[in-house]
Amino acid sequence: MKKLYLSLAFLSAFTFRVSAQLQGLDVVKVPEAQQPYSGEYVYIPDVEGYKTLKCDFHTHTIFSDGDVKPENRVWEGAIRGLDVIAITDHIEYRPNKFITADHNESYKRAKTVENSSNLVVIPGAEITRSKPLGHINALFLKDANALDVEDPLVAIDNALEQGAFIMWNHPGWPNDTSTIYKVHKDLIKQKKIHGVELVNGFEYYPKAFNYCKEYNLTYMGNTDIHGVYKQTYRTDKQYGPMTIIFARERSHEGVKEALFAGRSVVKFGDILIGSEKNLTALVKACLAYEVKEVSGNQALVKVVNKSTLNFEILLDNKAGTILGNATVEFKVRLNDKVKFTNTYITDNSQLVIDVASLR
């Protein structure tokens, strides 16, 4: 009987409302069945008056060496629950021989489903060279064909003339050393590199965290996806990396302004990487803190995690985890400091906040 009840409940929950009279109807449209499906539910509240947007700024399609059509790549982003996706096919490496000469074609096709997928689709391209320069993403391009030149530094200049945001991709690939070379330092000094990809696919680069801190660059993390997303990331840990940005508005210009302003945090599984300012803003937006009882310098506090993020903490030399959507109570001294041990500002520094300032 219990199994029958559950089956009936399941059927009821997933049956569309059907008109009692169907006779003679040629077509019945069910628009609610066409809404994007979110297979990875990641919820993060808005931060300090900004909209919190989940982004992937490094993806590939059949128009370079990917396995997926641009339109389908966008729909994959919708399934993930992203707000923003960038199409960044290689300029120099295009093994799929059927590809047209126009480097803008993949974005043009992705753009056709921007509204229906409810994603902001960003035009971009990847300048694909060996080290020491390595791979460089140029975002917000007007014409990717201008990057198809022999000298990669000229390609970067041509992108900058279009107002592009320049990201240094996967600094630890392919030789497992995250060296910052003279060419990178020169480009950073000339304000020709704006961000560093600290997480790429299934790996991340702790030494490169320091470059973002030292040179005031935007912290970024992306999938660099080539295959089918759900075949590439098949865990329930939500390891698919993303760049979380705090934008004034959910638009191309809003995303661009946030990246140039450096308002970002990288999420990779439960790891969060960003500047002290941005990590602090994220924590305070996610955790609602209430003092319930005070006795001298001791207090009983209640913390509500309004996000789906997990926060691993160290308080009074005791480790704990504030799970997503959880409410916890614990005793503290009001002058204590709490360390968020799954956060990173550099490779050896983590976010530490005064307990009192959480209120």
Amino acid letter at 157?
D
- Within 8 A by CB and 6+ apart from 125, the residues are 88, 89, 90, 91, 103, 137, 138, 141, 144, 147, 159
- For residues 247 and 258, the answer to whether their CB atoms sit within 8 Å is yes
Q: State the pTM of this model.
A: 0.88
Full pLDDT tens readout for the chain, 359 residues:
333 333 333 333 334 444 455 554 544 555 565 454 445 688 999 998 999 999 999 999 999 999 999 999 999 999 888 999 999 999 998 878 767 789 999 999 999 999 999 999 999 999 999 999 999 999 999 999 999 999 999 999 999 999 999 999 999 999 999 999 999 999 999 999 999 999 998 889 999 999 999 999 999 999 999 988 888 876 555 668 999 999 999 999 999 999 999 999 999 989 999 999 999 999 999 999 888 878 878 888 899 999 999 999 998 888 999 999 999 988 888 788 999 999 999 999 999 998 877 76
- For residues 239 and 221, the answer to whether their CB atoms sit within 8 Å is no
| Domain boundaries defined on the chain | 40-274, 287-358
Structure letter (DSSP) for residue 358: G
Question: Residue 239 has what pLDDT?
Answer: 67
- Within 8 A by CB and 6+ apart from 113, the residues are 71, 74, 75, 121
Question: Residue 21 has what pLDDT?
Answer: 57
Question: Residue 3 has what pLDDT?
Answer: 37
What superfamily in CATH does domain 40-274 come from?
Metal-dependent hydrolases (3.20.20.140)
Q: What is the DSSP string of 253-277?
A: HHHHHHHHHT-EEEEETTEEEE-HH
Question: Residue 43 has what pLDDT?
Answer: 93
Beta strands in 88-194 (DSSP E): 120-128, 135-139, 165-168
- Within 8 A by CB and 6+ apart from 86, the residues are 55, 56, 57, 58, 59, 121, 122, 123, 124, 137, 139
- CA–CA distance, 328 with 28 (Å, rounded to integer): 48
- Within 8 A by CB and 6+ apart from 28, the residues are 19, 22
